[in-house]
Structure 1
C-alpha cells in the first residue's frame, strides 16, 4: 500500500528474509544496553527467528526511496504471538514494529500501523492490540498519539519488566478515518 508521503507498505517476500532480519535487529539494537545480557540474547534470537517460519499471519515491510527500512508482524492472537492463551486476545496483535534509525521521523512506523489497522478492519476485527514497555518511550508516545489506549487487563510481566498492553478500536479510529487518509491503494510486489 502506498502512503501519501511516498512510503510503500507491502507484504514481505520470502526472498527478503535476510534484509528484513537486518532491519528488525538494527531497529532493536538500541535497547541492548537496557536489557540484561541473559535476557537480551534470547530476545534477539526471537526477533531473528520470527522472520521465517510459523507464527505471524502477516509480515510487512515498509519501503522508503525503494529501500526496506521498516518491518512489522501481525499475529492472530495472544497464543500465537506470545504463547499466552491466558491473555485471551483472539484478534490481531502487531509485534516487532521496526524502523531503522536512519529512517525514523518520516512516518514509517505510522504507515505500518495504519496498514495493519486497515487489514484488521477488512478482516472483520474491531480491535488491534500491541505490547510494549517503558524502555520504548518514543514508541509509547507514538501509539498514544495515534489513539491506542492502555489495556491493563492484557498486560504481563517478563522478568522484572512490565509488558504494557495497548489496543486501538478500529471502526472509529482516527488512524484510519482521520485526515482524509483512508484512500489506500494496493501496490504490486
Structure 2
C-alpha cells in the first residue's frame, strides 16, 4: 500500500471536502471559532484555488489504494510586508494539512510535508512556515520533529 502525492484535481472535490469537514470536527474541540462542518462547501475549494493563483500555490492530495486520504496546501510566494522595524521578505507557507484518522501513522502526512518543502525549495524560498493551533500538541510535536520551530507566538486573553 503505497501513498502517492499529486496535485488536486476537480474530481477530488467530494473526498477532499470530506477530509476538510473531518478536520473541522477535530479543530472545533480545540478552538470555538471554527465554522461547523456543514458550513464547508465548494466555496472553500474555490477560495483555496484563488489563493493558489495569487500566492503561487498548490493543493496537494495524498492517495492510497485509489482513495484520497489527506491533503496539504502550499503557498510559495507569501509576501511579508514587515512590521515597522522589519524588512519585507517572501516565504512559503503550508496553510492546511490533514490526514484521515484511519490513515494516520502511515507516513502520508510526512510525504505531504516533504513535497511542500521540495516545492518551496524549488521556488527559491529560504523559509517555510506552517500554522498550528497551540492546543494541537500532537501536530506541534510532529512539526518540531521534522525541523520546524516556534517563530512568532501570538497570545490571546479572553476578556469575558
Q: TM-score band, normalised by the shorter chain? A: 0.7 to 0.9
Task: Give the conservation status (yes or no) of the 8 Å contact 2:21–2:40.
Answer: no
8 Å contact kept, 1:94–1:130:
yes
The residue that corresponds to 2:97 in the other structure is 97
* Deviating more after overlay: 130-139 vs 21-30: 21-30
Q: Offset at 1:125?
A: 1.2
- Cα separation, 2, equivalents of 1:122 and 1:141: 26
In structure 2, distance between residues paired with 1:95 and 1:19: 19
Aligned to 1:156: 154
Using the size of structure 1 for normalisation, the TM-score is 0.67
Q: Which residue of 2 aligns with 1:144?
A: 144
Q: Does 1:40 align with 2:34?
A: yes
The Cα shift of 1:48 comes to: 6.6
Cα separation, 1, equivalents of 2:51 and 2:91: 14
CA distance, structure 1, for counterparts of residue 51 and residue 157 of structure 2: 23
Cα distance between partner residues in 2 of 1:62 and 1:19: 11
Tell me if structure 1 keeps the 8 A contact 2:22–2:37. no
Q: Which residue of 2 aligns with 1:22?
A: 18
> Does the residue aligned with 1:40 lie in a helix, a strand or coil?
coil
Q: Which residue of 2 aligns with 1:116?
A: 116
For residues 92-117 of structure 1, what are the alpha-carbon distances to aligned partners after superposition, in whole Å with 9 as ceiling and x for unaligned?
Answer: 10011010111101111111100000
Aligned partner of 2:78 in structure 1 is 77
Give structure 2 stretches of 5+ with no counterpart: none
> Aligned partners of 2:118 and 2:130: how far apart in 1?
15
Whole-Å separation in 1 of the counterparts to 2:122 and 2:31: 37
Deviations 1:131-150 (A, max 9, x none): 11222111101000001121
Task: Give runs of ≥4 in structure 1 deviating > 6 Å.
Answer: none
Give the match's secondary structure for 1:72.
Answer: strand
Q: Residue 46 and residue 67 in structure 1: after superposition, are their counterparts in 2 closer, same or farther (change >3 A)?
A: closer
Offset, 1:8: 0.4
Number of equivalences = 147
- Superposed displacement of residue 89, structure 1: 5.8
Q: Which runs of 5+ in 1 are unaligned?
A: 80-84, 161-189
